[in-house]
């Protein structure tokens, strides 16, 4: 059978040809615009998104207006699978924090294709396990580890997903993602820059010393990466 061109998304790349051909007619390429809300907590899910590039943050909003990231999704996975399969409301917001491109399809079409494919259901189960591992590790990290460690974890994860050392992340956004005040991130970012780990200028962070960030980071970065690679294979 002739090879089929695949978008650069880990789940789509992993599908056997027959399953991809069943899904392909329903896929549309869409732009992920920074700040766009792909999913809102409590709302019915309309679409499933499979990023090719960029970063989508799964975020929980608190009553006092604070937000905390519980998982980060990029080309390694998909947004909205659980809610689409169960035809229920989303549990978290999904916000684009780094712009990119994704394949998108209607939740009802995704559900129909998945109902017919045990292979796709097994792949989705592994992706949901990887997502749960992220959520659990993020909860432990935010409760127990320093701002320095949490910021390092976030930057390393973002680099893995974007495959670049240059990240368009503001200090305000970074503070929202790790659940701290902006001045805390400002202090740590300045210290990182003084130590030669990063350079920071007007909403853009350039990672200069990956090994240095890994030394500052807690075990959570490596734990999540190990779980994702065990369940999904190496990031390509």
The domain spanning residue 212 has which CATH number?
1.10.10.10
> Residue 2 CB: number of other CB atoms within 10 A?
4
Q: For residue range 60-94, list pLDDT tens digits in order.
A: 887 777 778 889 999 999 999 887 888 788 889 99
Q: Are 217 and 153 in contact (CB under 8 A)?
A: yes
Please return the burial class of 25, using the count of CB atoms within 10 Å of its CB with bins 0-12, 13-18 and 19+. Answer: exposed
pLDDT for 1 beyond 70: no
Count of structural domains, the chain: 2
N residues, the chain? 236
- In terms of domains, do 200 and 104 share one? no
Radius of gyration of the chain (CA): 18
User: Above 50 in pLDDT, residue 36?
Assistant: yes
d(CA 102, CA 217): 29
Burial of residue 68 (CB within 10 Å: 0-12, 13-18, 19+) is middle
Same-domain pairing of 24 and 102: yes
215/71 Cα distance (integer angstroms): 22
150 shares a domain with 93: no
Question: Going by DSSP bridges, is the β-strand pair 166-167/100-106 parallel, antiparallel, or unpaired?
Answer: unpaired
The percentage of residues in the chain with a pLDDT greater than 70, rounded to a whole number, is 97
In a domain, 124, yes or no: no
Q: What is the four-CA torsion angle of 125, 27, 72, 162, rounded to 10 degrees?
A: 130
Q: Rounded CA gap, 141 and 111, in Å?
A: 33
pLDDT at 199 over 90: yes
- Identify whether residues 110 and 150 lie together within a single domain: no
């Amino acid at each position: 059978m002739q090879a089929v061109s695949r978008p650069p998304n880990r789940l789509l790349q992993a599908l056997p040809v027959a399953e991809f051909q069943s899904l392909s007619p329903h896929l549309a390429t869409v732009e992920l615009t920074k700040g766009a809300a792909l999913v809102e907590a409590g709302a019915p899910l309309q679409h499933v998104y499979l990023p090719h590039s960029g970063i989508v943050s799964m975020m929980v909003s608190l009553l006092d207006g604070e937000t905390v990231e519980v998982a980060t999704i990029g080309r390694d996975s998909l947004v909205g699978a659980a809610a689409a399969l169960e035809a229920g409301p989303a549990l978290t917001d999904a916000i684009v924090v780094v712009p990119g491109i994704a394949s998108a399809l209607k939740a009802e079409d995704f559900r129909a294709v998945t109902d017919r494919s045990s292979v796709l259901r097994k792949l989705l189960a592994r992706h949901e396990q990887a997502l749960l591992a992220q959520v659990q590790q993020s909860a432990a990290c935010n409760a127990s580890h320093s701002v320095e460690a949490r910021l390092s974890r976030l930057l390393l994860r973002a680099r893995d997903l974007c495959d670049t050392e240059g990240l368009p992340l503001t200090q305000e956004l970074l503070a929202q993602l790790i659940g701290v005040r902006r001045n805390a991130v400002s202090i740590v970012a300045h210290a990182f820059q003084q130590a030669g780990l990063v350079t920071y200028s007007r909403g853009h962070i350039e990672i200069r010393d990956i090994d240095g960030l890994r030394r500052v980071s807690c075990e959570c970065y490596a734990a999540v990466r190990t779980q994702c690679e065990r369940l999904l294979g190496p990031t390509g």
